[in-house]
Amino acid sequence: MRDQMLIDGEWLDGTDGERIAVIDPASGDEITTVAGGTPADATAAVDAAAAAQGPWAAAAPRERAEVLRSCWVTLLDHADELAGLITREHGKPLADARGEIAYAAEFFRWNSEETVRIHGTIGTAPAGTNRIIVRHPPVGVVVMVTPWNFPAAMITRKVAPALGAGNAVVIKPPKETPLTALRVADLLQEAGVPPGVVNVVPTGNAGAWFDAATEHRATRMVSFTGSTEVGRVLLRRCADRVLKVAMELGGNAPFVVFDDADLDAAVEGAMVAKMRHSAETCTAANRFFAEAGIAPAFTEALAAAMADVKVGNGFEEGVTCGPMINAAAIESIGGLVDAAVGAGATVATGGAAIDGPGFFYEPTVLADVASTAAITREEIFGPVAPVIPFTDHDAMIADANDTEMGLTAYVYTADLAKGLATAERLESGMVGVNRGAVSDPAAPFGGMKQSGLGREGASEGIYEFCETQYIAASW
């Protein structure tokens, strides 16, 4: 198990010897500690990345692509070990953790293929005086701040395209799940990533760490995944140095079920959209709009499916929902449920935290939730499904769009034309039509409105980590 920071290919303790406790959310016990980085360590990591970036960018695209492909193979070769680390420090069921490793590794395969397809253009100026050549060099050193809900995949979704484009990176992993991040970085080196191209510095002092990393003259970009609240703070700090940014922020996904939907398929999709990775995803369905004709049957069937979920330690056979990340999460989920019930919702199943040890909450369905209840405004990040019945399509679309978020939405209907027309009216960067999962390394992941800036994955993802340079040339 790696428990030191990685700077310039060396495993080091922090300059002030600080250690950060890593907690098992299934028991509340300490698993181990890892080295905590100071602002000086963040600066040293950017120094290392700056020195490594030039030679890495100068390597032939095919050479970088082969290294990325080797990262894909190496991560898959260590899938069991990595999945075990994820379940240990995040808590998600082992099957989900294995799924996360396949997803995480796939970003390397996809981006190895994109690395040799970073295209520019050439055209003739309208006046006929010169050529307009457009090319896409790497942006430079990228500082990455990653979340705890996908301890491996939210790192690889950024690192793979950044490296493919020819950048070097400094990662601040979350203090909740640093062990996976450190081991992934270790394996990337084993797969052939040169020293200094990937640096990982956990910290217990995120603000000072971030200031030091972004004040460094070599840093050119920040890529962040996390809450909209934190994203706003980081954006303000990036403004001081006019850094390029990519932000994957919070969601508040509507899940729309029309009367004509196949009930079983809608419930199955709802369970995926809500409960994937223990309901701790920013793509999670947060508000279930069910048309009046299907709302009672949908609520009943969803409640039955939620009541069937086995909650427990992610290592236990049959468990499909692990613990929440910490006690604060349990408090926040409980507060939203209690407020919704206080405002008139009824509990169809669940509705309470499960006594410790560990941080568990019952899979919950709330019926007849008012579209104005606080739970429809906040990202729940837990196993709670509020069902809001509707009769008027236009009013439902207005309610679904009445949020500052715009990450994901889901629509279930037997009428594909209605499904696509509804999808086009929803202000969301990603929409699942008769599907409860949208994430795919080959598709552009990202949000509209305050859910983010930029896209990860697809062919767009690699260009996020590039500059655009235009050359006016005459010959």
x-or-dash string of contact with ligand SIN, 292-331, rule CB under 6 A: ----------------------------------------
Rounded Cα gap, residues 305 and 308, in angstroms: 5
Residue whose CB is less far from ligand SIN, 35 or 153: 153
- The amino acid present at 85, given as its one-letter code, is L
User: Residues 92-131: x/- map of binding to ligand SIN (CB under 6 A)?
Assistant: ----------------------------------------
Pick 26 or 430: Cβ nearer ligand SIN: 430
Among 38, 225, 320, 428, binds ligand SIN (CB under 6 A): 225
> Whose Cβ is closer to ligand SIN: residue 44's or residue 253's?
253
Q: Per-residue string for binding with ligand SIN, 226-265, x by CB under 6 A?
A: ----------------------------------------
Q: Are 285 and 270 in contact (CB under 8 A)?
A: yes
Measure the CA–CA gap between 420 and 411, rounded to whole angstroms.
9
Compare residues 36 and 461 and give the one whose CB is closer to ligand SIN: 461
Please state the closest distance from residue 225 (CB atom) to ligand SIN, in A.
5
* Helix H or strand E segment including 180: helix 178-190
CB of 435 to ligand SIN, least distance (A): 13
Nearer Cβ to ligand SIN (283/364): 283
Closest distance of CB 403 from ligand SIN, Å: 17
Cβ neighbours of residue 167 closer than 8 Å, sequence gap 6 or more: 53, 56, 57, 138, 139, 140, 141, 142, 221, 465
Q: Which residue has the tokens 């963040």?
A: 42
Q: How far is the CB of 47 from ligand SIN (least distance, A)?
A: 30
Q: Which of residues 378-417 bind ligand SIN (CB under 6 A)?
A: none
Q: What are the DSSP calls for 107-175, one per residue?
A: HHHHHHHHHTT---EEEE-TTSSSEEEEE--B--EEEEE--SSSTTHHHHHHHHHHHHTT-EEEEE--S
Identify which of residues 100 and 399 has a Cβ nearer to ligand SIN in the complex: 100
Strands 244-248 and 219-225, by their bridges, are parallel
What values do phi and psi take at 388, rounded to 5? Answer: -120, 110
Nearer to ligand SIN, 154 or 165 (CB): 154
Quick one: which segment of 3-11, 278-286, 358-366, 417-425 binds ligand SIN (CB under 6 A)?
278-286
Minimum CB–partner distance for residue 337 and ligand SIN (Å): 21
Q: Which one among 53, 111, 281, 376 touches ligand SIN, defined by CB under 6 A? A: 281
Q: Distance (Å, rounded) from C-alpha 284 to C-alpha 40?
A: 37
Q: How far from 442 is each of 13, 111, 188, 434, 435, CA to CA, in Å?
A: 37, 9, 21, 19, 16
Sites for ligand SIN among residues 425-444 (CB under 6 A): 439
Residue 286 binds to ligand SIN (criterion: CB under 6 A): no
Out of 283, 286, 364, 413, point to the residue binding ligand SIN (CB under 6 A).
Answer: 283
Beta carbon of residue 159, minimum distance to ligand SIN (angstroms, whole number): 14
Q: Among the candidate windows 266-274, 275-283, 317-325, 347-355, which touches ligand SIN by CB under 6 A? A: 275-283
Selecting among 100, 106, 176, 248, the annotated active-site residue is 248
| Nearer residue to ligand SIN within complex by CB, 149 or 205 | 149
Find out whether 147 and 447 touch, Cβ atoms under 8 Å. Answer: no
248 is catalytic: yes
> E strands within 384-433?
384-390, 408-412, 430-433
Which of 282, 329, 366, 466 binds ligand SIN (CB under 6 A)? It is: 282
Show the binding pattern over residues 148-177: x = contacts ligand SIN (CB under 6 A), - = does not: -xx---x-----------------------
Alpha carbons 320 and 276: distance in angstroms, whole number: 9
How far apart are alpha carbons 117 and 124 in whole angstroms? 22
Question: How big is the site for ligand SIN, counted in residues (CB under 6 A)?
Answer: 8
Residue nearest to ligand SIN (CB): 439
The single-letter DSSP state of residue 219 is E
Q: Alpha carbon 273 to chain centroid distance? A: 14
Nearest to 363 by CA among 347, 385, 345, 383: 383
Q: What is the 3-state secondary structure (H, E, C) of 14-77?
A: CCCCCEEEEECCCCCCEEEEEECCCHHHHHHHHHHHHHHHHHHHHCCHHHHHHHHHHHHHHHHH
> Residues 417, 377, 253, 342: is their CA dihedral positive or negative?
negative
Annotated active-site positions, please?
248, 282
Binding site for ligand SIN (CB under 6 A): 149-150, 154, 225, 281-283, 439
